[in-house]
Structure 1
Amino acid sequence: MGAGESKEIRGYTIDEKLGSGCFGEVFKCNKDGKTYAIKKMVVNDSATIKEVRSHMGLSHINVVKYIDSFSDEGYLWIVLEYCSGGNLNDYVLRQNPNSSELIRCIRQVLYGVEYLHSNRVLHRDIKPDNVMMQGNTLKLADFGLARIWSLSNDSEYYDLKGQKGLGPPYYTAPEVQLGNITKAVDIFSVGCMIIAMFSRTTISWAGGKQLLAPYINNPNNQITDASEQAKKNYVGKLNGLTGGQKDMVVKMVEDKWRNRPSATAAKASF
């Protein structure tokens, strides 16, 4: 669809392209006077179906709302709540919010993660550009890597052995490479996001776009690769966080996933 062109599908008038990624393209669309975001995906395996399943039925102020989904023209289309404020990555880099505002953002993200985990949903792709903004409200988005898990007990963490999948660079917990996927991977990602937001460290991505990325001193020294002492020293130097909040961030990015706090425990520090 070229610039300035629009098309209609299942009653939705599709307008401008909002973005694209590994899992599809996202467009702005309208239906019955309301504006939505619509995601266009190729259905080539069960992953796309899992995205729909993991998102359906979720209803929380800090999670982008699922509206509808259907197959047409050989693609899977997922209709979502439209957030006019852009994403958290661009907000932090362009608006340079103060520490109080950053804490407010973190708290909302943790509310969203807490809700997902209470509904047995692992997001697995938490990073600033997957957090959308609608006014002063932040909403977790992009469930392309999300999974639903079933528990046979009430343990805080539950292994999904063999469920390998890549998360976002700089935000992926070390155990993911071993196929050890638990709720703790989301906690690690949020901890990395906090570090990136307060340090303002960035990398250049496609087209020269600047993305917040947590690392120590240089982009080759990711949080995932750093020693526990190096992480503690680096977080300790961040301005705008209390001592207790710094201690919590260090716990959130521990290598040992069993030692990481729950979203509820992390939220209590912010």
Structure 2
Amino acid sequence: MKRKTLRRSSRNSKNCGMIMKGSLANHFTVQLDQVSLNLSLQQNSSQFQNLPDFEANPSAAEPLSQDIDGGDKDFILSQDFFCTPDYITPEMPAMPINLDWNKENVQCPNSPEKIRTVRSKRPKLEGNMVTFPGSNISGHQELVELEIETLGTDETKTEKVVQLQKNHSYVSQSAVALRCRVMPPPCLKNPYLKNASEMDIDPFGNQRSKCAGFYPAGVGGEDLSRYRTDFHEIEQIGSGNFSRVFKVLKRLDGCMYAVKHSLKRLHHDTERCKALMEVQALASLGTHENIVGYYSSWFENEQLYIQMELCDRSLSINKPSKLSTEEEVLEAMHQIAKALQFIHEKGIAHLDVKPDNIYIKNGVYKLGDFGCATLLDGSLPIEEGDARYMPQEILNDKYDHLDKVDIFSLGAAIFELVRGLPLPESGPHFLNLRERKLPLLPGHSLPFQNLLKVMMDPDPTRRPSAKELLENPIFGRPPRTARSK
């Protein structure tokens, strides 16, 4: 009886341990969970103490930063790099509890604001959790891992900031190329325009320092060629030491144009700015019947392209287009003088007037090629044109009367066209022309020859201005030549 009683009490105690319920069981479970949580935190904190101190020693963050970057620094950039606005959805307004969803015109709630967080890529620590057999602490295990992950995120933020400060916000080449495509070029100030102070402000000026140059090098290429896409090249109609000119057909409007592009690749910003002087001068002048029209310009493959009006021909001495009569010569001189008066009133000097830069279209003479154009006040660098048509003061680096330089060049150009022979580049005859020792021109009137001498006077103050030249009575009466009887 005694043995039997003991066996029954042992069986009852075992069952009681298995089916324990009520407050005692709950209390026992909470104690087990708390013990597990404390042990896990103690072991994790001991391992965190062995990690390097990023604040005290920033260099300790370098190996981990390399792991974060994955060895490849071509990471995706933020919107701050591309200078684009960051649109954030406003906060969702509180919805009334007694809202009737059956009614119409109910305001749609906005999406919540995106939370900007830095995701940690630190490897998760393993083997830090303590478990007890027969106990279920999965919920608390997730809580411990979440707390460790939060702690790692804070240290990773500090580590990432230190690394970015040391690397000075490295930007990959692919990102720079992408940014140059999506970002418009800067607003350049046109020095030939007066009262253009509003162009000084560039809204993206402070962000453009991350992009090399104000025009990306190599943008365009054969696959993205604007010249090949928009125009059909017909033939080359001109060439020089710095550029070539082609007769082209624009595919969209079906009209003919002249496209001039530089031969030299413009690698540096200084070279691009110098090449743009011609474009800016043409754009500031606007339209005039005696100036070659300007339409558009762009950079492609580090070369400058200029779309201009197509003319029939130039008055180059090397082409069979010599002016045959004095009437034709005076007509060409009168129209080019009107062009010079127009640009001089704009405060611009051409500095390269010669037969090669005088064009004719439908009987109208036009002045072109403003590659040497500058301001009359001398505020811009002065680049001399063809020395055969330059007066002596320019050869002596005296730039006080730049408008009279164009008058001398026009007289020398007309003198060359009348004679039908190119001007000398040096020698006694070269000096005689600059001393107003012009040979007689058989078959031309004395007033015409005297006008050329006045235009080529060695003293620039004695040369007429473009306005005074147009007021000369020789243009108001029919010319008297030796051929006319």
TM-score class, shorter-chain normalisation, is 0.7 to 0.9
Q: Distance in 2 between matches of 1:62 and 1:91?
A: 22
What's the counterpart of residue 118 of structure 1? 345
Q: Distance in 2 between matches of 1:254 and 1:229?
A: 6
1:215-254 correspondence to structure 2 within 5 Å: 220-226=427-433, 228=435, 230-231=437-438, 234=439, 237-254=440-457
Match of 2:460 among 240, 251, 257: 257
1:98 Cα deviation (Å)?
1.3
Q: TM-score, with normalisation over the residues of structure 2?
A: 0.45
What's the counterpart of residue 199 of structure 1? 419
Percent identity among equivalent residues?
25
What's the counterpart of residue 205 of structure 1? none
Distance 1:137 1:96, change over 3 A: closer
**Structure 2 unaligned regions, length at least 5:** 1-225, 476-485
What's the counterpart of residue 258 of structure 2? 37
Q: Distance in 1 between matches of 2:321 and 2:414?
A: 17
**Higher normalized helix content (fraction of residues):** 2
Output the amino acid matched with 1:166.
E
Match of 1:11 among 230, 242, 255: 230
1:91 Cα deviation (Å)?
9.0
Distance 1:161 1:103, change over 3 A: same
Distance 1:148 1:226, change over 3 A: closer
What's the counterpart of residue 167 of structure 1? 385
What's the counterpart of residue 404 of structure 2? 184
Q: Distance in 1 between matches of 2:397 and 2:233?
A: 38
Output the amino acid matched with 1:74.
E
The answer as to 2:27 corresponding to 1:27 is no
Distance 1:135 1:224, change over 3 A: farther
Q: Distance in 1 between matches of 2:336 and 2:441?
A: 20
Output one character per residue of 1:124-183: Cα deviation in whole Å (capped at 9) or x when no partner: 11111111111211111111111134xxxxxxxx5x289442311320111112333311
Distance 1:73 1:59, change over 3 A: same
1:268 Cα deviation (Å)?
2.5
Q: Distance in 2 between matches of 1:258 and 1:142?
A: 26
Do the aligned partners of 1:170 and 1:222 also contact (CA within 8 Å) in 2?
A: no
Match of 2:331 among 91, 95, 104: 104
Q: Distance in 2 between matches of 1:130 and 1:55?
A: 14
Moved more, 41-50 or 99-108: 41-50
1:245 Cα deviation (Å)?
2.9
Do the aligned partners of 1:93 and 1:200 also contact (CA within 8 Å) in 2?
A: no
1:228 Cα deviation (Å)?
3.5
1:89 Cα deviation (Å)?
2.3
Q: Distance in 2 between matches of 1:136 and 1:70?
A: 30
Output the amino acid matched with 2:291.
V
Do the aligned partners of 1:173 and 1:224 also contact (CA within 8 Å) in 2?
A: no
Q: TM-score, with normalisation over the residues of structure 1?
A: 0.78
Output the amino acid matched with 1:39.
K
Output the amino acid matched with 1:191.
G
Q: What SS does the corresponding residue of 2:336 show, helix, strand or coil? A: helix
1:249 Cα deviation (Å)?
1.5
Output the amino acid matched with 1:264.
K
Q: What SS does the corresponding residue of 1:70 show, helix, strand or coil? A: strand
Do the aligned partners of 2:436 and 2:458 also contact (CA within 8 Å) in 1?
A: no
Distance 1:239 1:163, change over 3 A: farther
Q: How many matched pairs?
A: 238
Do the aligned partners of 1:163 and 1:179 also contact (CA within 8 Å) in 2?
A: no
**Higher normalized strand content (fraction of residues):** 1
Q: What SS does the corresponding residue of 2:316 show, helix, strand or coil? A: helix
The answer as to 2:315 corresponding to 1:88 is yes
Q: Distance in 1 between matches of 2:323 and 2:359?
A: 17
Do the aligned partners of 1:164 and 1:179 also contact (CA within 8 Å) in 2?
A: no
